[in-house]
Amino acid sequence: MNSKYEPLFESLTLRSGIQLKNRIVMAPLTNFSSNADGTVSDAEVDYYIRRAKGVGMVITACTYVTPNGKGFAGEFAADSDEMIPSLRRLATALKEQGTKAVLQIFHGGRMCPPELVPYGEIVSASDIAPEQAGAVVPRALTDKEIEALIHAFGETTRRAIEAGFDGVEIHGANGYLVQQFFSPHSNRRNDRWGGSLEKRMAFPLRIVDEVKQIVNKHAKQPFLVGYRLSPEEAETPGITMADTLVFIDALAEKQLDYMHISLMDFWSKPRRGVESTRSRIEIIQERVGHLVPIIGVGSIHTPDDALKAAQTGVPLLALGREIIIEPEWVEKVKQGREAEIRTTVSKDDQARLEIPNPLWQAIINTPGWFPVVEKVRTSE
């Protein structure tokens, strides 16, 4: 291994006692490939096994905590105890590769396709549709339903513990339900769940408390709790960096194992809310990085990209699209073969990369999402 990359391979022990063997994480990425009954498919397990060996931690694609939270076709379920064997199969497969297995828990809220949820009824913090073509106006959740959802996040955490996962990540990013409560765009309530910044923080913070309580009650060995958030929204009104700085201060008091900042580009700068020429991730790292480890993500492709990102002080780096393109990314860096790392995918690569067909179709048919080229490089 080139000695300059050694910082990427240092171990890190999290607050819970979970030790990561290196600083590289497989980011959660929906693969649309589970079975129709919500169980994990063979193709899905093979896809994860292929990518799990080198990284310090795998964060799975999101799983829904209630039937009306299903956000994607081919999303695997964790909304009932019947799903524990399916969850256990995935956790076991990941851990057998020598990585830590983290289940991302989620509710899609107003982003759920009506055809995927019971009676086609979409719910959210308020009856405000997302700003996109064909969007459905959701029904505002009642206070009783909100309490039930908090409980559901806890129940899914219990299932993750029973299935043998090493932790859970609360998905509070990318415009889904937990973020919808924090957002002034989707949350127009005037009760204990909305109306001020502090009240908009109530639902996500209660979920953190519930999940931590369940871990304390049920986990017999170290079990981590992470939280993923998007620092800003494009909409007006929407989440600003100023809002997020208040929120991460509150999250940092919750004794989390990590905070995962969801970005398409690690180096992206704030839209509004703070006056700064620095990137969002650097602002967040300076604000709370001494209290809780930060995971950075977004357009990190090469080992030099990762090294530059690590030099900000952010201790953990997640690879999403890149680990799909290059499943052996960590091994190649470790073996001094970084020149062989691929950063593009060709239209002939599906079988070689063990990518399930639904995900492959999304990659090929979503312009700009992945760097797709016609011909594969000949050298390995």
The set of catalytic residues is 176
Tell me 111's DSSP state: G
Assign 194 to helix, strand or coil: coil
Copy the structure tokens of residue 230. Answer: 């998007």
- What's the CA gap between 56 and 306, in Å, rounded? 14
Contact 283, 300 (CB under 8 A): no
**Tokens standing for 284?**
């967040």
Q: Within 10 Å of residue 234's Cβ, how many Cβ atoms?
A: 10
Within the chain, strands assigned E span 12-13, 19-20, 24-26, 57-64, 100-106, 123-124, 139-140, 167-172, 224-229, 258-261, 294-297, 316-319, 345-346, 372-373
Q: Tell me the residue type at 299.
A: S
Q: Determine if the peptide bond prior to 237 is cis (ω within 30°).
A: yes
Which residues fall within 8 angstroms of residue 304, CB to CB, at 6 or more apart? none
Please give, one letter per residue, the 3-state secondary structure of 222-270: CCEEEEEECCCCCCCCCCCHHHHHHHHHHHHCCCCCEEEECCCCCCCCC
Strand partners, 229: 172, 261
- Please state at what angle helix 241-252 crosses helix 202-218, rounded to 10 degrees: 30
Query: Is the distance from CB of 319 to CB of 300 less than 8 angstroms?
Result: yes
SS3 317: strand
